[in-house]
Amino acid sequence: MGRRKIEIVMVTDSGTRQVTFSKRRTGLFKKANELAILCAVQIAIIVFSPGGKPFSFGHPNVESVIHRFLNQEKTPDDGTSKDDESRDESTTDDNLNQQLLDLLKRLNAEEKRGEMLEKALKTKRAAKGQPPIDQLGLPELGELKSSLEDLREKLRDRMNDIEAISSLLLLAENEPMM
């Protein structure tokens, strides 16, 4: 059906008004966050619900943005330039925003990698004719557990063998030739 344009008038029903406020507030804060990240801006929004409860959003935080707004007309007395201070804050914000974007990219890549591994595991189990682990019954899970424990023991034995061999090789290398 799609979205329809609504007439912008106050919602008369108080319950509907509260629901509309909650949904629109979330959307507003989401857009403000996007604007702050994409454009490296400082933003503060304060709204009061129909019930009089305050809600706020700020990037980097509400207090610093309000403090900056209230003190923008005052001239500094200590000889430091307000432009230098805001440039320093902006540079820090830019660095933090870049770090956030890098972390989000890494998180996204790891999520995709996890999905690929999950698909590969399911494909491999299906190729062997085995049902997915979450569909196994109690007897099958017991068998799987015992086979995994056996595998762990074999790996532990193999690791001990490799450590022993590497120790012997180190001793042989350090032993003086006669």
* More confident of the two residues 66 and 6: 66
What is the reported pLDDT for 75? 46
Distance CA 18, CA 24 (A): 10
What is the reported pLDDT for 167? 82
What is the reported pLDDT for 74? 54
Q: pLDDT tens digits for 66-119?
A: 988 888 765 444 444 555 555 566 667 777 878 888 888 888 889 898 888 888
Q: Residue 61 pLDDT > 80, yes or no?
A: yes
Q: What is the mean pLDDT of residues 1-15?
A: 85
What is the reported pLDDT for 177? 57
What is the reported pLDDT for 137? 84
Q: Which amino acid is at 105?
A: K
Query: pTM of the prediction?
Result: 0.40
What is the reported pLDDT for 136? 79
Question: Which CATH architecture best describes the domain 11-72?
Answer: 3-Layer(aba) Sandwich (3.40)
36: pLDDT confidence band, cut at 50, 70 and 90?
A: very high
What is the reported pLDDT for 163? 86
Q: Which of 58-72, 84-98, 137-151 has the lowest mean pLDDT?
A: 84-98
What is the reported pLDDT for 76? 47
